[in-house]
Amino acid sequence: MAKSCPPTALDYENRIIAQAIELLERRLFNDGPLLLNPEAVSDYLRLKLMPEPSEVFVAVFLSSKHQVIACETLFRGTIDAAQIHPRVLVQRALAHNAAALIVAHQHPSGCSDPSSSDERLTQRVKNALDCVEVRLLDHFIVGKGEPFSFASNGLL
């Protein structure tokens, strides 16, 4: 009979992170709470995205009163890039009947500074969503330090 390996410290850390994400999701997303605290969303996105070994792009879909409808991982990429299609964001926003959304991705390199392609992508996403009257409230980039917020930095 094969023996299973004992859990490692990393296994325990990953379990704790998963439990923290679950707690935050309950606080942020159960019963469609109002999204009034950008810091809580930033913390949630950091916990959700930092363990990912490659770039991941997520969207938080919101009602007209900024109640959370859903949070979905929409795109997965490589260690330094992800192919993002604004059309898919528009389709998912319409499917959820969302009035607004927040998007986020992480930089596995750890640097949360936006690249010029991140800035162009944000504008493309905003323009596509504007066509269907869905507001892009923010785009977070998660790195090792504080997440970068396009809205807080006047880029949205």
- Residue 18, domain member (yes or no): yes
Q: Give how far Cα 78 sits from Cα of 22, 52, 81, 84, Å.
A: 26, 10, 5, 12
- Residue 135, domain member (yes or no): yes
Instruction: Name the domain count of the chain.
Output: 1
Bridge pairing between strands 100-106 and 148-149: unpaired
What's residue 127's pLDDT? Answer: 97
**Per-residue model confidence as pLDDT tens for the chain (156 residues):** 556 677 787 777 878 887 877 777 666 655 555 556 677 788 878 887 877 778 889 999 999 988 888 889 898 877 767 788 999 999 999 999 999 999 999 888 888 899 999 999 999 999 999 999 999 999 999 988 888 999 999 998
Amino acid in position 141: I
Structure pTM?
0.77
- Residue 5, domain member (yes or no): no
- Residue 106, domain member (yes or no): yes
What's residue 3's pLDDT? Answer: 62
Q: CA angle at residue 37 from 66 to 130, to 5 degrees? A: 40
> Which residues form the domain of 134?
10-149
- Residue 95, domain member (yes or no): yes
64: CATH: 3.40.140.10
- Residue 111, domain member (yes or no): yes
In the chain, how many H helices and how many E strands? 4, 5
